[in-house]
Structure 1
């Protein structure tokens, strides 16, 4: 196949027979993903007056999501996606309502965290379901690569729009408005996606259900892809903490949001450009290279402060942002190349879970570093963590060698 993806391949993928309705529905369902965590955080903070409580409750949603993505993915592989998606959409509506009632009732923190975790657990695993569907809608080759790149680019776009929309809606007279809108979008989009013809007629994955506790992670190559996603999350989590800490030190807390939005924009633009001529071409070399370059750029962000000025942070951050979407796309290609038959949706769930766990761990490590050594140290933490994982990927590159057929000419 061609080593690059042409713009015509994006058009061909999105206009493939049966692709339009699920693509639009998936977009509606995935936009709220980036809204929910911030919506819960701001809602709880405005209700309780405590950022600490809000952060713990918000983390509960991430913990639930990290478990639910894998469990739901395995379920979809066993039965097909329609019934699991419809059921989880209904359960999510109930669980989210329960969370709202608990917040409004000023419930104890453990109850709030539990309600948040349950809502995360049953939140429909739309990213995995959407990405897995493309394997049925378009043939292997540049068009499928374009479809996976579209998934990464669109999700990154939603991570630009989602938080901004949540921050705007939380100023409404009722602070739960942002969460209510996010839930409505998720439930509606998931329902329409599940009832679309390609999804309704999608049979269980060939190869039978996953076997064993590890399921899709039983393969060495799939574990390598999950490690790559974990390393990616570690760096992202450290940057999210560090940027906001630096902005606070600079006396402009809103600067953090501006910078994070800017690097998301850089990710989208660079993701399209990179897909036209990716390098390195072989996936088993591409993954460690991209993560290592990502880690280096983030470590360079630590030069802000005593050693350099704020522009250094901005330049390094934009360079790092340009490497986000190419990594997410590479993870999708890695799943297609390494996941065992019958485990595609679960495998994508593992990638989401690994990234969420990485982001959480990166945020904790960076938070400790900020308290001990200042804001800029968080970037060193992220850079070192990413470099270590990139070295692990290099050692394990042989487990991805068969994936070269996906990206080499």
Structure 2
């Protein structure tokens, strides 16, 4: 089912949507900015991509674990109170991380504080997405809302790192980008938690829990026990791996070409291409079912990022730009497919937890990609990040082997009149 531009407009202007949408723009913007800002900050202080990648990876590992734990709590307690508590803990943790970096403390201590900061980072991406089920009815408008979520999330994944790079390079103190990211997290999360729509959702969840009518996915893994959702998470992991590799690789490639500031510009252009293709993706129905689209999109993304790595040692920014923009055209279609995959494979009452599993997978992928890219660039030069793209192709192969777990729930595979 395709969504028209009027569906996007209707969804975003639904009564009660404006405040949480604006708050989520501020609070989610640093989702990928924080990690790259930390990486570049440590790189400036320590002079090593390997050390910087380790600190950034630790932050993202903590974020990934915290995302899932928070998602389960938010599904059971409602978003408002847990989010406000997290804001206070996060403020203390990020101040401690900055202090460790500035004091150049022993690496194990810095890594531990980075993990703690990640655990405390407010993760309301899932709550933002789940809120649409309260605001708009099923149909094209809700699909438009979910596509908007995918487009905005991917915009933040690409534009955030671009801003981080600019702030690190253009301001006197390399920690400026970390402070900006943390401030946006705190302001956006606090505002989102206090909006009327979120408070109503929290009250409804609390009432359902008291009445004993709130379904709970038990066990350590919760909703992640569902095979289809694990496959969607694998796709998200592969996407994050390739994207994280490219983010660090582009910065190294432009520095090698003699224009370090061009890295931020290229990442911004990447974001623009991603948004434009995302809108086009949402305006028309796609001919292939979801379980076939996801591995093909990831494979194409991996091939193009591998090509980016291979052309980087040439030092031609024009050639790198052409290949990079082609890769950017495959970004939002992947994230939209992941969001639709969560819709198909997870129960509505566990929507926040399910979506946060997907975010966790993407964050872990970005973490691994950044760490791998930094290490390979130190060892092999600006083209070393091609390995990350190649690994993305491998993940796409694994995704193809698991495609049947999504096919069973894909509406394109369900006969008319049959129950999905």
- TM-score norm. by structure 1 comes to 0.88
Q: Deviations over 1:95-137 (max 9, x none)?
A: 2233334445443332222222211101110212211211222
Flag the 1:110–1:198 CA change in 2: closer, same or farther, 3 A: same
Which residue in 2 is equivalent to 1:211?
218
**Are positions 1:325 and 2:336 aligned together?**
no
| Deviation of 1:211 (Å) | 0.8
Q: Distance in 2 between matches of 1:99 and 1:66?
A: 17
Which residue in 2 is equivalent to 1:350?
357
Which residue in 2 is equivalent to 1:124?
122
Q: Distance in 2 between matches of 1:246 and 1:13?
A: 40
| Deviation of 1:60 (Å) | 2.4
Structure 2 portions without partners, runs of 5+: none
Which residue in 2 is equivalent to 1:268?
275
Q: Deviations over 1:135-175 (max 9, x none)?
A: 22222222122112212222333345434444455555655
Q: Is the 8 A contact 1:207 1:341 kept in 2?
A: no
Moved more, 191-200 or 180-189: 180-189
Which residue in 2 is equivalent to 1:133?
131
Q: Distance in 1 between matches of 2:249 and 2:35?
A: 18
Structure 1 portions without partners, runs of 5+: none
Flag the 1:148–1:407 CA change in 2: closer, same or farther, 3 A: farther
Which residue in 1 is equivalent to 2:2?
4
**Are positions 1:250 and 2:247 aligned together?**
no
Q: Is the 8 A contact 1:39 1:167 kept in 2?
A: yes
**Are positions 1:388 and 2:387 aligned together?**
no
Which residue in 2 is equivalent to 1:192?
191
| Deviation of 1:345 (Å) | 1.0
Flag the 1:295–1:112 CA change in 2: closer, same or farther, 3 A: closer
- TM-score norm. by structure 2 comes to 0.86
Q: Is the 8 A contact 2:296 2:396 kept in 1?
A: yes
Flag the 1:367–1:165 CA change in 2: closer, same or farther, 3 A: closer
Flag the 1:289–1:372 CA change in 2: closer, same or farther, 3 A: same
| Deviation of 1:55 (Å) | 3.7
CA-atom RMSD in angstroms: 2.9
Q: Distance in 1 between matches of 2:181 and 2:385?
A: 31
Q: Deviations over 1:263-283 (max 9, x none)?
A: 222111111111112434422
**Are positions 1:238 and 2:245 aligned together?**
yes
Q: Distance in 1 between matches of 2:253 and 2:37?
A: 23
Moved more, 225-234 or 355-364: 355-364
| Equivalent of 2:297 in 279, 290, 294 | 290
Flag the 1:244–1:175 CA change in 2: closer, same or farther, 3 A: closer
